[in-house]
């Protein structure tokens, strides 16, 4: 054995030896005579190669040693590299890479050509990643030129590694070339012989070598991380050889990683006249999905997965098709195929858990979760599985059934605040006794809800004591206090503790505004909604995700509050402007904004036909111009929150326009992020704004609001 190689035959001759041979001196007489290598044969078993390759590929596709699978064919090795399940079972999809190595004899040398590279969730283009893997596997035996690796005098290299350990001199290997590479039942046999008349070759290998030679400079640029240079070289090759398939593949591979180039990559893909059975990975489906061709994307994903020999990559491709299926039943069917190809695919099982929960089959979902737990060995990994499972049940509206799941998580981490909070939220979410239920039943459900609130309170205290994230627990505790115990003041106090740096800040401000409004604290509700709007304005245009969805719903609620309760249509439209920036097609936001706009037009028309109001119209125009300037400055500040000049001008305009609530929100946000030396400059205008709001509230007879502002003034110290 030599590494993962098992030598099966080795024959040498001793030139100049005459017969009859005198062997009276024994073996030692001939041990140090240099012979000539005539024939060398060795086997590589797939399992042995996979175990040998894994540690050598550590840090290329992922941080840990990957799972490696190989399959052998005549003159070709297909390599699949994917991150192992352990430790990632509760995380998102991990990178997967597949590529082929074509072997070709070149005199005494042996060439390996990297081709058909494809993958999913890779940090670099697939060809660059495949080249890095091939370089790590071949090591110092090979020299690299683009995607071609040359092992010079490979028979000599093997003889030098093998024979000295056996106590023999390395024979001469001139003229020894590779003659065959035969694959059978997971084993590849390679034979080299002297003066062979038939060298190892194949039409596919020659074709791949031609393409790799033409694109040498492009592939070297990719290996160096210079993607734009690689793209320029591929374009130059297309000018010399129109519709060159390898150059088109490089263009697709580079452009599909840049969202703005999706159309260009799709155009290059359309020119590629490739074998339909050739593995291409998920890239064609990704591109069609990106341009909105959902049906075409699903067909491309399924076609690619069916022809994919790398099981983890085939499973990942089926997953992407399932994400576009549009119906959980269809998604489940695709995910069944994914798990059939790769039973240990954690991401496919998590996707099937979501589909099963959507279909109302929590028992089957639990079976998949138990399989996921069985994939990992450590307590922290098992804890992560059950925590993610509990979150999935809660998202599916099965919060009451999530209690048992969080109890499983607590088994592996009994003091973790997140697990305690999850169990508490599940208990608090259990429905009260049904109408007509016995008093004992209602008492039991009430006691369980009270226990849930107590567990949430304990979890929050534990989180603050250990420095763990507490915002999600505070939200669950606040909801339980509001919905179960009807204690709105306590609920407001808990959401107010969620800081602006927490992902739950938007939801917290929306809930605070809602509950303050119910309590009659209109000024406090308006302030909370204003803080929500200022923070939501930093979200990307048309952003997705649960946080953006919750923010839009809260902004629409804030607009209704300002319109109906406070009678401030301008403030309502400011909330709607941010909501529509995030979700331009939100029906309710569009309806309210349209109604408010029509009302504003009617008011303007009334001013236009009343001569005695012309002076007021001039003032309105000036105010509109100042308001537009303020909105423009607000956008500039969102792009660069550190621009103090813009913030100062915006603060002055807001003060002149009488938009004191917005001014207060602006100054509050800057105070939160300000270093100590800046706070001394921001506190005076902050207190002055609070004072003006307190005086205005007193004049309007709103003593409660005035007291609130003065309380904040007292708390705001330098």
Most confident of 153-167, 371-385, 421-435, 692-706: 371-385
| Cis preceding-peptide flag for 491 (omega within 30 of 0) | no
Say yes or no to pLDDT of 613 above 50.
no
**More confident of the two residues 223 and 594:** 223
CA dihedral 256, 258, 264, 270 (to 10 degrees): 10
Instruction: Identify the DSSP state of 309.
Output: -
- Determine contact, residues 86/66, Cβ cutoff 8 Å: no
**More confident of the two residues 622 and 399:** 399
Q: Which CATH number fits domain 615-715: 1.10.760, 1.10.10, 1.10.1060, 1.25.40?
A: 1.25.40
Euclidean distance between CA atoms 520 and 314, whole angstroms: 57
- Return the exposure string of 41-53: e unless at least 16 CB atoms fall within 10 Å of the residue's CB, then b: bbbbbbebbbeeb
485 backbone dihedrals φ, ψ, rounded to 5°: -100, -5
Say yes or no to pLDDT of 217 above 50.
yes
Mean pLDDT over all residues of the chain?
Answer: 83
**More confident of the two residues 189 and 430:** 189
Q: Which of 222, 215, 213 is nearest to 253 (CA)?
A: 222
**Span of 28-32, 304-308, 636-640, 652-656 with lowest mean pLDDT:** 28-32
Euclidean distance between CA atoms 544 and 567, whole angstroms: 31
Instruction: Identify the pLDDT of residue 479.
Output: 92
**Span of 2-6, 268-272, 499-503, 575-579 with lowest mean pLDDT:** 2-6
Euclidean distance between CA atoms 679 and 17, whole angstroms: 96
**Span of 405-414, 510-519, 571-580 with lowest mean pLDDT:** 571-580
- Secondary structure class of 21 (helix, strand, coil): coil
- Determine contact, residues 171/158, Cβ cutoff 8 Å: no
Instruction: Identify the pLDDT of residue 432.
Output: 55
Say yes or no to pLDDT of 623 above 70.
no
**More confident of the two residues 230 and 695:** 230
Phi-psi region of 169 (alpha: psi -120 to 50; beta: other; left: phi over 0): beta
List C-alpha distances in Å: 463 to 47, 459, 474.
47, 6, 10
**What is the tens place of the pLDDT at every residue in 27-57?**
555 556 677 788 888 888 999 999 999 999 9
- Return the exposure string of 638-651: e unless at least 16 CB atoms fall within 10 Å of the residue's CB, then b: eeeeeeeebbebbb
Q: Which of 374, 319, 307, 299 is nearest to 89 (CA)?
A: 374
Q: How confident is the model at residue 348 (pLDDT cuts 50, 70, 90)?
A: very high
**What is the tens place of the pLDDT at every residue in 126-179?**
999 999 999 999 888 889 999 999 988 877 877 777 777 666 677 777 878 888
Instruction: Identify the pLDDT of residue 631.
Output: 80
Q: Please compute, for residue 691, the number of CA atoms within 13 A of its CA located in the half-sphere on the CB side.
A: 7
Say yes or no to pLDDT of 281 above 60.
yes
**More confident of the two residues 513 and 155:** 513
Strand partners, 144: 149
List C-alpha distances in Å: 390 to 163, 386, 406.
60, 6, 6
Instruction: Identify the pLDDT of residue 660.
Output: 72
Q: Which residues contact 657 (CB under 8 A, 6 or more apart)?
A: 623, 626, 627, 630
Euclidean distance between CA atoms 348 and 354, whole angstroms: 10
Could you state, in order of their start, the residue ranges of all structural domains in the chain? 5-214, 275-374, 615-715
Q: Which of 5, 140, 135 is nearest to 79 (CA)?
A: 135
- Determine contact, residues 536/506, Cβ cutoff 8 Å: yes
Determine whether domain 275-374 maps to CATH 1.10.760.10.
no
> What string of DSSP letters covers 605-660?
HHHHT-GGGHHHHHHHHHHHHHHHHHHHHHHHHHH-TT-HHHHHHHHHHHHHHT-H
- Determine contact, residues 416/410, Cβ cutoff 8 Å: yes
Q: Are strands 148-151 and 142-145 parallel, antiparallel or unpaired?
A: antiparallel
Instruction: Identify the pLDDT of residue 259.
Output: 82
What is the mean predicted confidence (pLDDT) over 478-492? 91
Instruction: Identify the pLDDT of residue 541.
Output: 64
pTM over 0.75: no
Instruction: Identify the pLDDT of residue 216.
Output: 94
Q: Where are any strands of DSSP class E within 23-108?
A: 36-45, 67-73, 76-82, 96-106
Q: Which residues contact 198 (CB under 8 A, 6 or more apart)?
A: 179, 180
What is the mean predicted confidence (pLDDT) over 426-455? 67
Say yes or no to pLDDT of 513 above 90.
yes
**More confident of the two residues 587 and 222:** 222
Instruction: Identify the DSSP state of 502.
Output: S
Q: Which of 386, 340, 336 is nearest to 366 (CA)?
A: 386
> What string of DSSP letters covers 109-164?
EEEEEEEEEEEES-SS-HHHHHHHHHHHHHGGGEEEETTEEEETTHHHHHHHHHTG
Instruction: Identify the pLDDT of residue 434.
Output: 40
Say yes or no to pLDDT of 222 above 70.
yes
- Determine contact, residues 44/77, Cβ cutoff 8 Å: no
**What is the tens place of the pLDDT at every residue in 637-648?**
777 777 777 877
Q: Which residues contact 21 (CB under 8 A, 6 or more apart)?
A: none
Q: Are strands 36-45 and 5-13 parallel, antiparallel or unpaired?
A: antiparallel
What is the mean predicted confidence (pLDDT) over 536-554? 80
Burial class (CB in 10 A: 0-12, 13-18, 19+), 36: middle
**Span of 251-255, 419-423, 487-491, 686-690 with lowest mean pLDDT:** 686-690
Q: Which of 152, 175, 153 is nearest to 36 (CA)?
A: 175
**What is the tens place of the pLDDT at every residue in 237-267?**
998 888 888 899 899 999 998 888 888 888 8
Q: Which residues contact 113 (CB under 8 A, 6 or more apart)?
A: 101, 102, 104, 147, 148, 149, 205, 208, 209, 212
Euclidean distance between CA atoms 56 and 122, whole angstroms: 18
192 backbone dihedrals φ, ψ, rounded to 5°: -125, 145
**More confident of the two residues 289 and 593:** 289
Counting DSSP H helices and E strands in the chain, the numbers are: 31, 10
Q: Of all helices (H) and strands (E), which one includes residue 476?
A: helix 471-483
519 C-beta neighbours (distance < 10 Å), count: 15
**What is the tens place of the pLDDT at every residue in 56-91?**
999 898 888 899 999 988 888 999 999 876 555 656
Instruction: Identify the pLDDT of residue 296.
Output: 92
Instruction: Identify the DSSP state of 215.
Output: T
**Both tokens assigned to 399:** 């919060």
- Determine contact, residues 291/267, Cβ cutoff 8 Å: no
Say yes or no to pLDDT of 700 above 90.
no
- Secondary structure class of 278 (helix, strand, coil): coil
What is the mean predicted confidence (pLDDT) over 335-350? 93
Instruction: Identify the DSSP state of 545.
Output: S
């Amino acid at each position: 054995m030599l590494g993962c190689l098992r030598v099966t035959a080795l024959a040498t001759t001793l030139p100049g030896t005459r017969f009859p041979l005198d062997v009276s001196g024994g073996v030692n007489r001939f041990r140090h005579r240099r012979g000539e290598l005539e024939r060398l044969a060795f086997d590589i078993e797939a399992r042995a190669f996979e175990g040998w390759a894994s540690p050598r590929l550590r840090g290329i596709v992922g941080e840990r040693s990957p799972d490696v699978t190989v399959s052998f064919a005549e003159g070709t090795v297909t390599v699949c590299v994917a991150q192992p399940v352990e430790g990632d079972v509760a995380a998102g999809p991990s990178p997967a890479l597949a590529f082929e190595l074509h072997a070709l004899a070149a005199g005494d040398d042996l060439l390996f050509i990297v081709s058909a590279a494809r993958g999913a969730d890779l940090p670099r283009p697939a060809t660059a990643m495949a080249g890095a893997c091939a370089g790590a596997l071949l090591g110092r035996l090979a020299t690299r030129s683009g995607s071609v690796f040359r092992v010079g005098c490979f028979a000599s290299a093997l003889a030098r590694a093998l024979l000295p350990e056996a106590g023999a001199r390395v024979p001469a290997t001139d003229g020894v070339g590779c003659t065959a590479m035969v694959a059978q039942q997971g084993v590849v046999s390679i034979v080299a012989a002297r003066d062979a008349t038939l060298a190892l070759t194949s039409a596919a290998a020659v074709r791949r070598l031609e393409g790799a030679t033409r694109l040498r400079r492009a592939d070297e640029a990719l290996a160096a991380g210079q993607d734009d240079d690689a793209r320029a070289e591929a374009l130059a090759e297309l000018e010399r050889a129109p519709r060159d398939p390898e150059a088109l593949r490089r263009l697709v591979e580079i452009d599909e990683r840049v969202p703005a180039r999706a159309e260009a990559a799709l155009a290059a893909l359309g020119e590629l006249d490739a074998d339909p059975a050739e593995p291409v990975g998920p890239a064609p489906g990704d591109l069609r999905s990106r341009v909105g061709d959902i049906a075409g994307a699903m067909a491309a994903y399924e076609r690619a997965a069916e022809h994919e020999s790398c099981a983890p990559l085939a499973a990942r491709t089926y997953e992407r098709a399932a994400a576009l299926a549009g119906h959980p039943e269809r998604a489940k069917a695709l995910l069944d195929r994914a798990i059939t190809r790769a039973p240990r695919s954690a991401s496919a099982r998590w996707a099937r858990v979501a589909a099963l929960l959507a279909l109302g089959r929590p028992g089957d979902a639990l079976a998949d979760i138990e399989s996921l737990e069985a994939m990992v060995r450590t307590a922290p990994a098992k804890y992560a599985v059950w925590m993610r499972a509990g979150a999935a049940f809660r998202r599916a509206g099965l919060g009451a059934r999530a209690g048992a799941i969080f109890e499983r998580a607590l088994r592996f981490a009994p003091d973790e605040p997140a697990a305690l909070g999850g169990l508490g939220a599940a208990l608090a979410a259990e429905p009260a006794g049904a109408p007509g239920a016995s008093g004992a039943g209602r008492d039991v459900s009430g006691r369980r809800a009270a226990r849930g609130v107590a567990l949430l309170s304990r979890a929050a205290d534990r989180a603050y004591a250990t420095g763990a994230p507490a915002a999600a627990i505070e939200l669950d505790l606040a909801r339980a206090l509001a919905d179960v115990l009807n204690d709105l003041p306590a609920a407001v106090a808990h959401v107010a503790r969620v800081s602006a740096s927490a992902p739950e800040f938007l939801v917290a401000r929306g809930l605070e505004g809602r509950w303050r409004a119910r309590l009659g604290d209109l000024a406090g509700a308006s302030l909370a909604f204003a803080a929500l709007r200022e923070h939501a304005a930093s979200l990307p245009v048309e952003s997705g995700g649960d946080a953006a969805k919750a923010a839009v719903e809260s902004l629409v609620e804030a607009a209704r509050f300002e319109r109906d309760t406070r009678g401030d249509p301008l403030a309502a439209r400011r909330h709607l402007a941010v909501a529509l920036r995030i979700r331009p097609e939100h029906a309710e936001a569009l309806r309210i904004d349209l109604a408010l706009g029509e009302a504003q037009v009617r008011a303007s028309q009334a001013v236009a036909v009343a001569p005695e109001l012309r002076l007021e119209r001039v003032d309105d125009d000036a105010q509109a111009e100042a308001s537009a300037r303020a909105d423009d400055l607000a956008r500039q500040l969102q792009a660069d929150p550190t621009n103090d000049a813009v913030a100062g001008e915006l603060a002055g305009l807001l003060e002149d326009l009488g938009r004191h609530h917005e001014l207060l929100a602006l100054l509050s946000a800057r105070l939160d992020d300000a270093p100590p030396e800046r706070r001394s400059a921001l506190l005076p205008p902050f207190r002055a704004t609070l004072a003006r709001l307190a005086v205005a509230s007193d004049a309007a007879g709103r003593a409660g609001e005035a007291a609130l502002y003065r309380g904040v003034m007292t708390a705001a110290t330098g």
